[in-house]
Structure formats: structure tokens, C-alpha cells
Structure 1
Amino acid sequence: MKIKGVKLSLAPMHYIVVIFFIALFVWSFFATGDGMFLYWGIPLSLCLLAIPLINSYSVGRQYVKLLPEYEAESKPCRIKQLGPVMEGKAVRVEGVVQAVKGKFINRPGYKIFDGSGTIVAQRSTPLDISIRVGDNIQVVGMVVRRFAFAGDYVVHAIGVKKVDTLTPLEMDEALVSSDTVKIKKYN
């Protein structure tokens, strides 16, 4: 379902939790005969559906608002360039999807390989498009640490789109800007 261009969806985990609690309240009603289990239990279980939907819309709306800003200020980078110098900066990374994780909880993560290295692009809401292993994608987002102060670097993906062709590795030097770390290749 879409509202104002924002895709709303629930993860399979949400449905499992709601069904579990509804079954628990119905079983409690039949075991005790007390109607309060149904009177309070069913609406509270439905709130377990409403809260993730509201969160999904809120985060998705922020992504829609931030995407033009990130696309304007992002710099094309190779994965090998992403590190402490690029932390907190907007980047544009292209690559081939090697793995897709987190769809069961509506927090997709894409392991991307561009020939120079691999990185994970994580997103807090589902995408409008279906991305599979082997797809060429372009990710616009911010370089952050996986955990607040520790862990490896990931790209918090604000925008993800499929592309037909990737920028060849020979274009590396053209993509390096003056404020990034240059890595010299020794053959």
C-alpha cells in the first residue's frame, strides 16, 4: 500500500506476533470465560499492527524528503574508499548485489561488490522495487558504523535503484575527489 509516495508494509514477523497474541487472548477467553480478554486483547493486538505501519510511514516519508538532498550532495565513491575519512558523508556507490538479508523483519540489507571491495547497504524501510542477488544497483546514502561506536562501516541507504551498467574500475581516478583518501595500487 502507498500513501503519498511512501510504501507501507508489514514484515512477516509482525503478522506472526499479532496472530500469536490474538490466539493467546482467544484461548484465555475460552479457558476462563472472561470476556475482558477479548475486549482488551483484540484491540491491543491490532495496535501491534498499527504501530509498525505508522513507523514505516514516518521513516519512509523522511527518506522521500531526504533523497533529493542526498542525490545532490553525494559523491561517487568506490567501496575501498569508504572508511573513517568518509564517515558521516553522503556517498553514491554502485555494485553487484552478493546477498540480501533482513527482508523478514522489513530492514533489508544488501551486500554490494564493486570490484574494489564489499560493503553492506542497510535500509530501515522496504523498497518499492525487488532487488535480488546478481542485480546491479546504485545506492545513495551516508557512511556510518554498523553499531554506534564500533563495527565495520556500512552505507545507510536513503535511495536504492537498479542500474543497467556499472562504472568500470578504470574510472577510479576520475571518481576520486580531492577530500578523500587516495589509495595507491602497486602491481
Structure 2
Amino acid sequence: MILVVSGPSGSGKTTVAKSLSVKYGLRFVSGGQIFREKASSMGMDLLSLNKEAEKDFDIDKVIDKEILNQAKMSNVVIESHIAGWILAGESTVSIYLWAPLDERARRISKRDGISYENALLSILEREQSHYYRFWKYYGIDIQDLSLYDLVINTSKLSPEKVLGLIEYFLDSYIQLSPRK
């Protein structure tokens, strides 16, 4: 079982992926955490590493290789901006969460204790880098969500409601049993 949860920053993907891993007794792997660890090991913040990755494809290759290795071990929920595309054809179910930019900035502002304006700027800069890199290195248009099995706008839903929708989908279509 390989469940993928993708989406932009602030969409709720980490919260949802962690909850799914607990509910279904699957390992949790965060592509974002792998990227943060890489940034930290290089003495950089996330935006700086994103900018560096625009010039050095090896950065993304290392992170993507780790995501692929984790997927090969199966029984996992993988949360990542790009996992839906790099695991296309291998994942059991791919889910894409999104919310409008202003809602995501509000969430990140609250979560990280930064101003709304700084959260908004950070999102825009990171997403511009993602769009550029994913197109340049992979030929992926991250606005094409056709490969996802389920796409949810999380802006007006609590995390519990989002989970309920996903659980209904999973239970109805692939007969997953929650962990007792």
C-alpha cells in the first residue's frame, strides 16, 4: 500500500498524511521533512535551498531517490509536493489537497508565527521555484492534476472533515481497513 498526499504549502497535506498513517497503520514519510533536513545539513533555509536546487538538479535527485526508496518498502503514506508525479503508476492512491493562496498564507502565518505578508511572500517564492524546477527537470506541469485519484479543496473544511472524505474514498474504492 502506497498512499500519496500532495499539494502546495499550507494545504493541510502533512496533517492529513500523518492522520492517515495512524488510522491505517502505515509508515509516514514527509518529503518536506527530507528537504528541511537537507537544508539544515547545508546550513540553509528552505527558500535558499529551493533557489540552489534551481541550479543543481542533484539536490532534487537525492530527495526524490529517498522518496522512491521509501515507496519501494510499501505500507507507507508519503507526503510531498511532487510525490504524486514521481510515484505515478506505483502509488495505490494519490490525493491532492489544495486551498486558495490567501487561506494557505493565513494558515502558515498562524502555524509559523510570522506575518501574513511574510507567509504569502514565502509561499509565492517557493511555489515559483517548484514550478520552474519541476518543469525544467521533469517536464511536469504541477498545475495538471489529472493523475490524482482524489482532489480536495481544504479551505472550508476542518482536518477531520478532509480525513472523513478521504476515508470514505479509501474505504469505498480500495477496501482499506482502519487499524483497530
Common topology (TM > 0.5): no
Larger radius of gyration between Structure 1 and Structure 2: 1
**TM-score bracket for this pair, using the shorter chain length:** under 0.3
Richer in helix (by share): 2
The structure, 1 or 2, with the larger RCO (C-alpha pairs under 8 Å, 6+ apart) is 2
TM-score computed with the length of structure 1 as normaliser: 0.25
- TM-score normalised to the size of structure 2? 0.26
